[in-house]
Each structure stands twice: as C-alpha cells, then as structure tokens.
Amino acid sequence: MRIVADENIPYVEHFFEAICYEKGSNEYGSQPSLLAQSEAKPTTLLLRSAGRNMSPDLVTDADLLLVRSITQVNQALVAGSSLKFVGSATIGTDHIDQPYLAENNITFSNAPGCNADSVAEYVTAALIQLKQNTGWDWVGKTASVIGVGNVGSRVVQRLEALGLRVLKNDPPRQQKEQRQGTCDDFVSLEQALNADLICLHTPLTTTGEHATEDLISRAQLAQIADGAVLLNAGRGPVINGPALMRHKDRLKLILDVWPTEPEVNPELLASCFIATPHIAGYSLDGKVRGTAMLADAVFQQFDLGNAPQWPQLPGGGVLTPKPEQSPQDFLQQAILTSYQPLHDDQIMREALQQQPGAETFDWLRKNYPVRREFRAFYLNLPLGPQWQALAKVAAKLGFQIDYEG
Ligand SMILES: NC(=O)c1ccc[n+]([C@@H]2O[C@H](COP(=O)([O-])OP(=O)(O)OC[C@H]3O[C@@H](n4cnc5c(N)ncnc54)[C@H](O)[C@@H]3O)[C@@H](O)[C@H]2O)c1
Ligand SMILES: O=C(O)[C@H](O)[C@H](O)COP(=O)(O)O
C-alpha cells in the first residue's frame, strides 16, 4: 500500500507509521515494519511537499491520498491512478469531486466536526476582543448563526453561554427536520440578517436549492444594519466580494475566509476589525483530530485493527484568578490567554504588507503556531457562589474546572 500525504497534515507519521514500510520524503522505502512483514505488498508512507502543487504523477501509483482543503481532488488529478482511498483532514469538502471518486470506486472520507470547537473558540475570543478594543458589548444583543451544523451549533452554544439571544438559520436542516416532525426554531435569512452579530458557518456549495455561493450578496448586505458585526469563518465566496467592498466600511468585519482566497484585497483587509488567514479551525487539537479521523477510516477500510491513540500534545496550563479579580474579568482573561485572534490579525497584516500575495497567505497557514483548545486549560477557581456561576459558563465554553484546596 502506498500513501501520499500533504506535508501539512500533522502527525501523519504518528498515526500511519504502524502500516508503513518506511518513512520517506521522496522515495519508496525498503525497511519492513510490523504490519508490512505480513503483507504481500509493501506499505510505504510518502510525505510530499505538495498542497496546491499535488500533481497526477505524484498520485498515480498511490493507494491512499491524504489532503487538506487546498488540493483540488478531481478527474485531472486522479484519473488513471491506482487510488482506493482519498481522505481530507478537513470539515469542508468543496475541493473534492465526490461524484467522480464514487464513480471510480475510490472511497472518500473527511473529518466532520474535527475543528468545530476551534472555530467556536475563535468566535468566542473575537467577541471578547471586540468588547475590549471597541466597546461593542453583547449584553442585550441578538446574534444569528447561518449554517447550524457541527460548527454553527457549537457557536450557538457558546454565544448562549455568554448570554446572547441567538437566532438560527439553516434551511436544509429546517426542511429535513420539518419532514421528520422534529423542527428546531429556525428563522429566515432575512430575519437572521437583522441581528447585531451575524456569524456565517455554511459550507461552500455552488449547485442545488440551497447553494451558498454569493448567499450574502448586494441585497442581503443592504439589509444588515450599520455597525453590525459580520463574521465569516465558513468559506470566502459565501459573501459576494464586490458587494462586500461596497458595504465594508459600515460593518464591523471579522473575516477568517476571503472572497478571493488565497488572495486578499488590501482595502478589504484594511476595513476589517479582525482579519485572519483561514485559521479559525487551526487549533492543534482540531488538526490532530482530523488526522486521527482519517486514520480511523483507513484502518477500518483496510481491516487493519485499531488506529493508534492520540500523541501527547504540548501546551495548555492552569489559570488561577488574582486576588480581587472579578469572575467576569477572569473569564475574559482566561479566554484571551488561551487564544487571541487579534494576534493572528497583526501577524497577517504585517506579513501581507511586507509581501503581498497568495504565497504569503499560504505561508502564514503553513507556519501557524501551536494553539491549544480551551479544553487544554484548567481554571483553578476559589469556592463561592459567584465562582460557581462562572464555572458553569466556563465549562460550557470548553474549559476544564478545578476548585482551590
Ligand atoms: N475557517 C475555518 O477554519 C473553518 C473550519 C471548519 C469549517 N469551515 C467551513 O465551515 C463549514 C461548516 O462546517 P460544519 O462542520 O458546521 O459543517 P456541517 O456540514 O456540519 O454544517 C453545515 C451546515 O450548513 C447548513 N447549510 C447548508 N446550506 C445552507 C444555506 N444555504 N443556508 C444556511 N445553512 C446552510 C447545512 O444544512 C449544515 O447544517 C465547512 O463546510 C467549512 O467550509 C471553516
Ligand atoms: O474545512 C475545514 O476543515 C477548515 O476550513 C480547515 O481549517 C481547512 O484547513 P486547510 O485544509 O486548508 O489546512
């Protein structure tokens, strides 16, 4: 079995070495390992410097192809190859021609939900920074979440934990649940666009009744009130680029994904409160979960037993309030100790200023530092009813809770 993996999938070696003949970057290996000894065909892990440059000649002899969202997997890439399995260590699948893979008996697997907590934490931390840096306070405000799947439902949960009233818009789910008689309380897109904070978490789809490309275009942007917060951590082309240019200066924009990604319009960038290079889902936990989910799928498909357990991850820690610090203050501090989107924003602005272009955008993503999810942080709290109330909120946001003494 031969595996071609994008170099930006972390811990591929950890999860796949048990079925490797030899690790290598450019050549098939020759040293047998545990499983390979009992296999008629040698098993090899190839790590290729690929991503956007993944080419048919790299893929042609492979049995397994493991990619991330920047590799277009379609007829042009895989026709004539010996591929049996394609895995994407991502939630999004808009880069994969799934019908073509199915027609050619190539199994496809992605990693649904792998980085959903990471995105929900991006949204949570962005709101704290919005409050601290601009005075925009969510008390008494309404939020809407457009696309209430794995990511969106966790965003709903976090926003409700912070005390916002949250409206949900998801016509595909609404229709399905209406048919099943289990419908949640969804609102129309028009109602959702009246909110003070609008969070987009839909996939990118270009066909069908609920296609999301340009879902938020001229007419929809015109409905959004001046000063409202528009956050997109789904896919860039869900907002129409030229229409966004018209409205950019009257909205508070938080953009992790871009209409012309990996190119970023510098004027759009300048208008954003937070601008990040598609890293909302880039917690280490989310990335490792993505690789682990692919390993599970591969081990199951090829009847290889159980995939390896997770490796030990670096980072995280214990956070303790200072004497006299209010619970509210401490929670905000804990969130920003765990993650600060404005830090990523600053790095992106500086990098793109020095060297504008798609390569810089890709470089920022490839070299993204370790960021642990809130679950890796323990809040060590004093006893007392105020702190217990805080503990409830903090646990809903994902933190681990300990009590002093
Ligand atoms: N910025 C990032 O780092 C990042 C990270 C993870 C996911 N994403 C993007 O977010 C998307 C959503 O992720 P997910 O895990 O929640 O996927 P999901 O499939 O679990 O949920 C997507 C939801 O969007 C809904 N939807 C589809 N079309 C819609 C429409 N026209 N209007 C409203 N809702 C619609 C679906 O019914 C579904 O409930 C992914 O497809 C990916 O493109 C981005
Ligand atoms: O779809 C996803 O899971 C996210 O958008 C993810 O963050 C994409 O990351 P990439 O594969 O581009 O590294």
Q: Could you check whether 3-110+283-302 and 115-275 share the same CATH topology?
A: yes
Mean pLDDT of 96-123: 98
Mean pLDDT of 86-99: 95
Q: Which atom of ligand 2 is nearest to the CA of 290?
A: 3
The DSSP element (H or E) to which 65 belongs, if any, is strand 64-67
Let me know if domain 317-403 sits in CATH 3.30.1370.170. yes
Model pLDDT, residue 111: 97
Model pLDDT, residue 48: 54
pLDDT of 250 over the 70 cut: yes
pLDDT of 47 over the 60 cut: no
Instruction: Give the pair of three-digit tokens for residue 197.
Output: 């904070």
Range scoring the smallest mean pLDDT among 63-67, 239-243, 263-267: 63-67
pLDDT of 376 over the 80 cut: yes
Model pLDDT, residue 184: 77
pLDDT in tens, 111-166: 999 999 999 999 999 999 999 999 999 999 999 999 999 999 999 999 999 999 99
What residues pair up with 47 in beta bridges, in sequence order?
5
Range scoring the smallest mean pLDDT among 45-54, 204-213, 291-300, 338-347: 45-54
Q: Which atom of ligand 2 is nearest to the CA of 111?
A: 3
pLDDT of 44 over the 70 cut: no
Model pLDDT, residue 396: 98
281 is in an annotated binding site: yes
Model pLDDT, residue 37: 36
208 is in an annotated binding site: no
DSSP states of 10-27: TTHHHHHGGG-S-EESSS
Mean pLDDT of 319-348: 97
Model pLDDT, residue 18: 72
Both ends of the chain: CA-CA distance in Å? 54
Mean pLDDT of 289-302: 95
Round the average pLDDT of the chain to a whole number and report it. 91
Range scoring the smallest mean pLDDT among 5-19, 142-156, 189-203, 306-320: 5-19
User: Could you report the predicted ipTM of this complex, rounded to two decimals?
Assistant: 0.99
Specify the amino acid at residue 153.
S
> Is 201 labeled as catalytic in the residue annotation?
no
> Is 95 labeled as catalytic in the residue annotation?
no
Residue 378 CA to its chain's centroid (Å): 23
Range scoring the smallest mean pLDDT among 40-49, 66-75, 297-306: 40-49
**Span from the CA of 72 to the centroid of ligand 2 (angstroms):** 13
Selected catalytic residue, list 235, 289, 365, 372:
235
Model pLDDT, residue 41: 41
pLDDT of 269 over the 90 cut: yes
In this prediction, residue 46 has a pLDDT band, given cuts at 50, 70 and 90, of low
**Span from the CA of 329 to the centroid of ligand 2 (angstroms):** 32
Model pLDDT, residue 147: 98
Q: Which atom of ligand 1 is nearest to the CA of 172?
A: 37
Model pLDDT, residue 16: 86
Distances (CA, A) of 92 to 88, 116, 202, 371: 9, 11, 9, 21
CATH says 115-275 is which class? alpha beta
202 is in an annotated binding site: yes
202 in contact with ligand 1, CB cutoff 6 A: yes
Taking the domains of the chain in order of start, what are their residue ranges? 3-110+283-302, 115-275, 317-403
> Is 343 labeled as catalytic in the residue annotation?
no
What's the predicted TM-score (pTM) here?
A: 0.93
Specify whether the CB–CB gap between 156 and 123 falls below 8 A.
no
Mean pLDDT of 207-228: 98
pLDDT of 394 over the 70 cut: yes
Mean pLDDT of 374-393: 95
**Span from the CA of 143 to the centroid of ligand 1 (angstroms):** 17
pLDDT of 218 over the 90 cut: yes
DSSP states of 89-139: SSS--TTB-HHHHHHTT-EEE--TTTTHHHHHHHHHHHHHHHHHHH----T
Size (the chain), residues: 405
Model pLDDT, residue 45: 54
185 is in an annotated binding site: no
91 in contact with ligand 2, CB cutoff 6 A: yes
Share of the chain above pLDDT 70, in %: 92
Mean pLDDT of 91-107: 96
Model pLDDT, residue 183: 78
Range scoring the smallest mean pLDDT among 98-112, 172-186, 234-248: 172-186
Residue nearest to atom 9 of ligand 2 (CA): 69
Superfamily per CATH, domain 3-110+283-302: NAD(P)-binding Rossmann-like Domain (3.40.50.720)
